[in-house]
Amino acid sequence: MTAAASDSLAGFLPPLRTDVKTIAVFLEKKPFFGAIIVHLPFLHALRRVYPGAKLVVLSPAPAMELLARAGAADEFVLYKWSFSGIRRTLLGIAPQLVFVLRPASRGLDLAVASCRLPHSAGYHSWLGRLLYSHIVPQNSGIYRARKYLTLLLEASAAGNVPLDGWFREAAARAKLSTTSWGRTLAVLPGGGAGDFKRWGEDNYLELCGKLAALDAELNFLWILGPQEAGLEKKILASGPAPRSRILSGAALPDLAAAAFAAAGAVGNDCGPAHIFHMCGRPYACVMSDHDGRGERRAAEWLDAPNRPFAVLSPPGAPISAVRVETVLGTVKRMLSPK
21 and 83 part of one domain: yes
| Residues in a beta bridge with 335 | none
DSSP 3-state assignment of 295? helix
Last residue of a domain, one of 170, 195, 214: 170
Average pLDDT for 322-328: 98
Q: Among 10-14, 43-47, 158-162, 169-173, whose mean pLDDT is lowest? A: 10-14
Residue-wise pLDDT tens digits, 268-278: 999 999 999 99
Is the CB of residue 55 less than 8 Å from the CB of residue 45?
no
98 and 227 part of one domain: no
> Which position has the higher pLDDT, 299 or 130?
299
pLDDT of residue 3: 38
9 and 147 part of one domain: yes
pLDDT > 70 in the chain, percent: 95
Q: What is the mean pLDDT of the chain?
A: 92
pLDDT of residue 27: 97
Q: Tell me the CA distances in angstroms from 129 to 109, 136, 137, one per residue in order.
A: 11, 10, 11
Average pLDDT for 56-74: 97
Is 241 exposed, middle or buried (CB count within 10 Å of its CB: 0-12, 13-18, 19+)? middle
pLDDT of residue 1: 34
60 and 29 part of one domain: yes
* Residue 315, amino acid: P
101 and 203 part of one domain: no
Which band of pLDDT confidence, cut at 50, 70 and 90, is reported for residue 58?
very high
| CA dist., res. 115 & res. 117, Å (int) | 6
221 and 138 part of one domain: no
Rg (CA), the chain: 21
Average pLDDT for 40-57: 95
Is the CB of residue 220 less than 8 Å from the CB of residue 208?
yes
Which band of pLDDT confidence, cut at 50, 70 and 90, is reported for residue 10?
low
313 and 236 part of one domain: yes
Query: What CATH number corresponds to the domain at position 153?
Result: 3.40.50.2000
The conformational region for residue 128 under phi > 0 = left, psi -120 to 50 = alpha, else beta, is alpha
pLDDT of residue 152: 92
Last residue of a domain, one of 112, 143, 170: 170
Residue-wise pLDDT tens digits, 235-263: 999 999 999 999 999 999 999 999 999 99
> Is 238 a member of any domain?
yes
- Hey, how many other C-beta atoms are within 10 angstroms of the C-beta on 127? 15
- 278-281: long-range pairs with CB below 8 Å, 24+: 278/37, 278/38, 278/40, 278/41, 278/145, 278/163, 278/164, 278/167, 278/303, 279/163, 279/164, 279/167, 280/162, 280/163, 280/164, 280/305
Enclosing domain of residue 88: 3-170
Residues whose CB falls within 8 Å of the CB of residue 254, separated by 6 or more in sequence, listed in order: 174, 175, 176, 247
Is the CB of residue 319 less than 8 Å from the CB of residue 198?
yes
Is the CB of residue 224 less than 8 Å from the CB of residue 248?
yes
Average pLDDT for 311-333: 97
Which band of pLDDT confidence, cut at 50, 70 and 90, is reported for residue 128?
confident
pLDDT > 90 in the chain, percent: 79
* Residue 179, amino acid: T
94 and 198 part of one domain: no
Residue 315, pLDDT above cutoff 70: yes
58 and 127 part of one domain: yes
> Is 102 a member of any domain?
yes
Last residue of a domain, one of 143, 170, 197: 170
Which band of pLDDT confidence, cut at 50, 70 and 90, is reported for residue 212?
very high
166 and 184 part of one domain: no
105 and 191 part of one domain: no
Residue-wise pLDDT tens digits, 73-108: 999 999 998 999 999 999 999 999 999 999 878 899
Residue-wise pLDDT tens digits, 132-141: 989 999 998 9
Residues whose CB falls within 8 Å of the CB of residue 277, separated by 6 or more in sequence, listed in order: 143, 145, 163, 283, 302, 303, 306
> Is 175 a member of any domain?
no
Question: Considering its fold, how many domains does the chain have in total?
Answer: 2
